[in-house]
Amino acid sequence: MDTKKVWFVTGASKGLGLSLVKTLIESGYKVAATSRKSQNLIDAIETFDEKQFLPLEVDLTNERSISEAVRRTVDHFGKIDVLVNNAGYGIGGAVEELDQQEIKDSFDINVFAVIKTMQSVMPYFREQKSGNIINISSIAGFAAGIGWAMYAATKYAVTGLSEVMAEDVKEFGVKVTVVAPGAFRTEFLQDNSLVFAEKKIDEYHAVSTSHEKYATMNGTQIGDPEKLSRVLISLAEDQNPPVRLYVGSDSYNRAKEKINLLSEELENNKNISFSTDF
Ligand SMILES: NC(=O)c1ccc[n+]([C@@H]2O[C@H](COP(=O)([O-])OP(=O)(O)OC[C@H]3O[C@@H](n4cnc5c(N)ncnc54)[C@H](OP(=O)(O)O)[C@@H]3O)[C@@H](O)[C@H]2O)c1
C-alpha cells in the first residue's frame, strides 16, 4: 500500500513554495500545487511524472477556483493529507499611504485565500479523520517591523485563525500549525513580489528608512528555503506537531524579545487590568 502523503501547496512557482514542491517530489510524495499561471509552475519544476505531480492554475481570489482545485486533487490522487497555505506577499506603506484596493488585494491573498482553502479541504479531512494544515504566517504576525502595518495585519490574522482552528478541528484528528518565518532567501523582497503603497507621504521618515533597510537584505537573508522545506515535511510526519513554529534564528530572537516586552507590559499595568472588574 502507498503510505506517502498527498500534499496541496498554494503559490508554488517560486520561493518557498517551489522549494517545498521540489523537495516533496524528490522525497517521493504526491503533490498538487497551485500558481496563478500553471505554465510558470511547469517550467519551474522542469520534469515530472503526472502520477506524482499535479500543477493547477488557480485564482486564489476566487472561491470556485480553489474548491475546483481541491476537488481535482482528490480525483487525481484519491485524497489530500496536507494543505500548505504558502501563497502570500509583503505590502509596505504607512496605513495612511495605502489605498482601499491595495489593502483589499493583500487581504484577499494573505488571509481570505487561506480561509477559503481551509474551508475547501475540511470536508475531506473531517471524513477521513486526519489531515495537516500548515499556514505560512510570518514573524510579522507576532512581532512586526516599522512600515509593514498592513502586512502585519494580514499575518496576525493568519496566526489568530490558525490558533483557534487548531482547537476547533482537534476532535477530527486534524492538526494545524502556523509557521512564522524570519527572513528567507526567496523572491519575497524582489520587485515582482513585494508591493508598496503607490501614494507616498514624505513625512514618514521611519517608514521609508525601514523599507530601505529591507531592500538591502535582498539576496542575503539568513533563512534557507530548502532547510525550511524539510522542516515543513517533518511537521506533517510528526504525531504531535506544534501549533506555532518560529523558523530562523532571527524569527526566534524577535519572538523572544516580543514575549519579554509583553510580560513586562502586562505586569507593569496589572493594577489597571484588575481595576475594571466589578
Ligand atoms: N521570504 C521571507 O522572508 C518570508 C518571511 C516571512 C513570511 N514569508 C511568507 O512565506 C510565503 C512564501 O513567500 P516567499 O518568501 O516564497 O515569496 P516569493 O518567492 O515571492 O513567492 C511567493 C509565492 O506566493 C504567490 N503569490 C505572491 N503574490 C501573489 C498574488 N498577488 N496572488 C497570488 N499568489 C501570489 C506566488 O505564487 P504564483 O506566482 O505561483 O502564483 C509565489 O509563488 C508567503 O506567504 C510570505 O508572506 C516569507
Its pTM stands at 0.98
Question: In Å, what is the CA distance from 261 to each residue of 180, 264, 270?
Answer: 18, 5, 14
- What spacing in Å lies between the alpha carbon of 90 and ligand 1's midpoint? 8
- Would you say the CB of residue 136 lies under 6 angstroms from ligand 1? yes
- Would you say the CB of residue 17 lies under 6 angstroms from ligand 1? yes
Q: What atom in ligand 1 is closest to the CA of residue 90?
A: 47
Which residue, judged by its Cα, is nearest atom 37 of ligand 1? 11
Neighbours of 260 (CB within 10 A): 10
- Would you say the CB of residue 36 lies under 6 angstroms from ligand 1? yes
pLDDT digits (tens, 9 = 90+) for 170-224: 999 999 999 999 999 999 999 999 999 999 999 999 999 999 999 999 999 999 9
Measured at the CA of 19, the angle between CA 183 and CA 255, to 5 degrees, comes to 25
What average pLDDT does the segment 235-255 reach? 98
pLDDT digits (tens, 9 = 90+) for 148-162: 999 999 999 999 999
The CATH code that applies to domain 6-250 is 3.40.50.720
Element (H, E) at 81: none
Our answer to whether residue 151 is catalytic in this structure is yes
Distance CA 274, CA 41 (A): 55
pLDDT digits (tens, 9 = 90+) for 160-170: 999 999 999 99
Scan for cell 470536508, then name that residue: 123
What is the average pLDDT score of the chain? 97
Strand 91-92 and strand 174-181: the pairing is unpaired
Q: Which of 124, 151, 214, 246 is catalytic?
A: 151
pLDDT of residue 3: 77
Distance CA 45, CA 80 (A): 21
- What spacing in Å lies between the alpha carbon of 202 and ligand 1's midpoint? 28
pLDDT of residue 66: 98
Report whether pLDDT(1) > 80. no
Q: Report which DSSP code applies to 184.
A: B
- What spacing in Å lies between the alpha carbon of 224 and ligand 1's midpoint? 15
3-state secondary structure of 46: coil
Distance CA 128, CA 131 (A): 8
Report whether pLDDT(90) > 80. yes
- What spacing in Å lies between the alpha carbon of 194 and ligand 1's midpoint? 9
Alpha helices in the chain (DSSP H): 15-26, 38-45, 63-77, 100-107, 113-128, 149-168, 205-217, 225-237, 249-268, 270-275
pLDDT digits (tens, 9 = 90+) for 35-80: 999 999 999 999 889 999 999 999 999 999 999 999 999 999 999 9
Q: What atom in ligand 1 is closest to the CA of residue 11?
A: 37
What average pLDDT does the segment 79-96 reach? 98
